[in-house]
Structure 1
Amino acid sequence: MSHFGVLSYKGAGHLNPLIALARELVARGHRVTFFQTAELEEHVRLHGLEFCSITSSAARPATSSRLAYRWKFMQEIVALRDGIDRIVFDMELFLRQVPPAMAGRGIDAIIMDEIALAGPTVAEILRLPYVVISTSVPHNFGWDGPRSIASRETLIERVQRECHQVSVLRMRGPVRRRLDALRRTVGLGPIGQVKRKFPELAHITQLPQCLDLPRTTLPYNFHYAGPLVDEATRPAMDFPWGRLDGRTMVYATFGTSRRSDLALFHLIAEACNELCLQLVISLGGRRGPESLHGLPGDAIVVKALPQLEILKRADIVISHGGLNTALETLREGKPTIVIPRAFDQPAVAARLERCGVALALPAKDLSAGAIRTALHTLLGQPGYRDAAMRMKAAVCASDGLAHAADVIELSLRRQGTRS
């Protein structure tokens, strides 16, 4: 049995799948310890997992982008610099503290989130085998979507995306230069050599193969797993179930990682009200219901809710296209309207639309009429629900947790045999 160290990004869309995978490994007799900052300790330990706190005596870089610069362009430049500074600060923090912490706890192998940027360097310093987990569309597949749904970008927005869209497998720009400088201080070559000199044992994605685009070649160590979902890890939450009145129900959510555009919820509420549909809105834990006063109709608005249970009852889901929400929706066989905003969302939206389970709408210049038309189409054309049910069967059959754990165990056994 092995002792795994886990390096995960803090966001729920990354942390929840890795907690689910860790619990599967523990159920098989392994030990798993998460290495993260202290605010996540209670959440991780709640699920029966070990935790090692990473702390810093230095303050995290302050955000200066809110200063009253006269020109919007200068505000965007400062925001870009702030974002890079925060990424580099976290990367340096983990490179200083994680190697001695892992060595002291007897870690045998590392499981790392694709955007745990310090991960391969930590593994190389300790000479530990490692597995990369893509909780979303793998970065090396690309995150672009069709022009018809992707938000139009300014020059600075495009530069921001290129600088921030980094991963352990796709390092670039100032973040890469800073990491290479840090690697030199411990006698390691450039990060670009890692794939050749110290590669990962396996790269696993929870994107199911049935949802991906056709591919002729893939790396020998790449594996589609399927959703890494463990319902037992979801906290119990209150919800006003008695307010559900039997009408066709639409569930709208824009995730937890970004502050949602409240204007979009107003457009959705207007469209649902015109079609006499019952609307349930989750604000992702970041705002209270009072922030959506004056919505058309009688929508049920909550700060957070038990999403897996709501998805079982919903008829249509409206989301941003985050992969976790998309996969949980597919597991229930529900058609979707996707309004992608950023990151991997256009790529997810394009895949859902290609599979015939969703309609994708551009966030820019969106109208209540466009949402109403999309709702009417999904409700009136059974082909979308039929496709969603076919995808449900394929996604559920993938058994993502068991598959991912099997790959990890087999990869370690093979590596041990070669050693």
Structure 2
Amino acid sequence: MSRFLFVVPPLVGHINPTVGVAAELTRRGHQVAWAGVPEVVEPLVGEQAAVHRCAAPPLNDPALLRPPSLRGPAALKFLWERFLVPLAEAMAPGIRSAVREFRPDVLIADQQAVAGGLVAEQLGVAWATSATTSAGFTALADLPKVEEWIAEVLQGLRRRIGDPAGTVDPRLSDRLVLTFSSRELVGPGNFGGQVRFVGPSVSSRPVTSGFPWEWLDPGLATVLVTLGTANGEAGGDFLTRCAEAVGARSDRMQAVVVDPSGTVSGTGERVLVRRGVPQLALLERCDAVICHAGHNTVCEALWHGRPLVVAPIRDDQPTIAGQVVDAGAGVRVRFNRATADHLGTALDTVLDEPGFRAAAVRVGRSLRASGGPAVAAVHLEQLVRSRALSGRF
């Protein structure tokens, strides 16, 4: 039996992939724990899970809200300076305590919880990366100045909370990178030998509230509209336009709109607005998805064979949207400029032209064939067996 510690940021989309992997490791007889913000982690992993508390910047701090108009390198710089660096500095003491108390054989650090890799390197613990987006391998290839700036930021963090003599990029372990995608979706490229494409970690998740399944009309096409959990400040107008597009087609389709911020109102009778939904269960009954090209939502939709309309906002989303379009599994629209008519036309395209559904099913098969949590668990077990260091505490 081995011990595995997942280090996660207080972001739902980055925690969810660990749930299935942890469940598989537990099924195999291993011990699992998390290091993160319990108030965010526990509702997703279950109240019985062992969650070691880490501090984090106050998530309701207005200073953390990126202006919706901020894009490209400016948005990335804002993310690092206002959130990722303060998050790393806040989490580091809690991660050290978790390592000393739990004594993991392997630490699995999310890409955005860079303190995990830095602390593991400092303490001599074998560690892997949980890559919740494949864009990290390619997105900055054409932006060498941005990558150089991030490298300097990471080196400063290493001096403050890690081993100043360390050399491994804390975003990408040199031993194992679990990538929750497939080569079919990501496309061609030269990836490191430590990168393993395991497909999305699709597993049962705790459901805290009921969903009115009886509202869905089986005679209509169902569209899921979601911008994830971190884009509420940017999404109200876009979600309203999506609702209008579906409302104009209420004779043949219905929509479930996820609106965590509660800003959408005045929708038609064939549009259901909810602050949260059981996404995996809903995807089983959907026909298409409109989203921001968030990695988890895209992979989960394609895993179910659902074509997409993607409207990337920033960060890795343009890269993921490009993967969807290149695979033939969806249509891309402009987040700020797509009108209800544009969105309606895009929906008609992915629903009426069979090639999009066929491509989504094909990519979905590749995601399923990648193995998911079971294969991820095997790679982690292999890392335990092959690790050069057993840990120094």
**TM-score, normalized by length of structure 2?**
0.85
How far the C-alpha of 1:377 sits from its partner, in A, is 1.7
**Which one of the candidate residues 395, 398, 402 is aligned to 2:374?**
402
Partner of 2:16: 16
- What SS does structure 1 have at the residue aligned with 2:36? strand
Q: Distance in 2 between matches of 1:338 and 1:78?
A: 19
Change over 3 Å in CA distance of 1:265–1:218 after alignment to 2: closer
The alpha-carbon distance between structure 1 residues 144 and 312, as it changes in their structure 2 partners (threshold 3 A), is: farther
1:312 counterpart residue number: 284
Q: Deviations over 1:1-35 (max 9, x none)?
A: 21112111111110011122111111111111111
Give, in whole Å, the separation in 1 of the partners of 2:41 and 2:362.
Answer: 39
The residue identity in structure 1 corresponding to 2:318 is P
Secondary structure at 1:179 match in 2: helix
Match of 2:90 in 1: 93
RMSD: 3.5
Counterpart-to-counterpart distance in 2, 1:278 and 1:405: 40
Structure 1 residues 380 and 143: CA distance shift in structure 2, 3 A: farther
TM-score, normalised relative to structure 1: 0.80
Most deviating of 306-315 and 267-276? 267-276
Distance 1:38 1:283, change over 3 A: same
Give the C-alpha shift of residue 237 in structure 1: 3.3
Q: Is the 8 A contact 1:64 1:79 kept in 2?
A: no
CA distance in 1, matches of 2:61, 2:288: 41
Q: CA deviation at 1:194?
A: 2.2
Identity %: 26
Deviation at 1:59, TM superposition (A): 8.1
**What residue in structure 2 maps to residue 172 of structure 1?**
150
Distance 1:356 1:418, change over 3 A: same
Deviation for aligned residue 1:123: 0.9
Residues 51-200 of structure 1: pairs in structure 2 closer than 5 A: 51-55=51-55, 63=62, 84-142=81-139, 162=146, 172=150, 175-182=153-160, 188-189=164-165, 193-194=167-168, 200=174
Question: Which amino acid in 2 is paired with 1:369?
Answer: D
Residues 319-334 of structure 1 mapped to structure 2, 5 A cutoff: 319-334=291-306
CA distance in 2, matches of 1:388, 1:60: 35
Which region of structure 1 is more displaced relative to structure 2, 78-87 or 47-56? 78-87
**Partners of 2:176 and 2:194 within 8 A in 1:** yes
User: What is residue 226 of structure 2 aligned with on the other side?
Assistant: 253
Q: Aligned pair 1:364/2:336, yes or no?
A: yes
Q: Is the 8 Å Cα contact of residues 334 and 385 (structure 1) preserved in structure 2?
A: yes
Residue deviations 1:55-102 (CA, integer Å, cap 9, x gap): 48x989965589xxxxx99xxx99977962543332122223322431
Matches within 5 A, 1:199-348: 200-215=174-189, 217-231=190-204, 233-235=205-207, 237-245=209-217, 246-259=219-232, 260-275=234-249, 276-284=251-259, 286-288=260-262, 291-296=263-268, 298-348=270-320
Contact 1:44 1:50 in 2 (8 A): no
1:178 is matched by which residue type in structure 2?
G
**Cα drift, residue 326 of structure 1:** 1.0
Letter in 2 for 1:124: E
Q: What is the match of residue 414 of structure 1?
A: 386
Q: Distance in 2 between matches of 1:41 and 1:376?
A: 38
Deviations 1:254-299 (A, max 9, x none): 1111215222122222222223343323335x223xx322235531
Provide Cα deviations, 1:99-138, integer angstroms capped at 9, x if missing partner.
Answer: 2431233222211111111122211221111111101124
Q: How many residue pairs get matched?
A: 382
Distance 1:360 1:392, change over 3 A: same
**Amino acid in structure 2 at the alignment position of 1:263:** D
Q: Secondary structure of the equivalent of 2:87? A: helix
Given that residues 144 and 346 in structure 1 are in contact (C-alpha distance below 8 angstroms), is that contact kept between their aligned partners in structure 2? no
Bigger radius of gyration, 1 or 2?
1
In 2: Cα distance, 1:314 partner to 1:293 partner: 22
Q: Deviations over 1:367-414 (max 9, x none)?
A: 122112212222321111122222222222222111111111112212
Alpha-carbon distance, 1:224 to partner: 0.7
Post-superposition offset of 1:174: 6.4
Q: Are the structure 2 counterparts of residues 39 and 350 from structure 1 closer, same or farther at C-alpha, using a change threshold of 3 Å?
A: same
Deviation digits for residues 139-171 of structure 1, max 9, x if unmatched?
1321699xxxxxxxxxxxx9xx95xxx8xxx97
**Distance in 1 separating the partners of 2:3 and 2:154:** 30
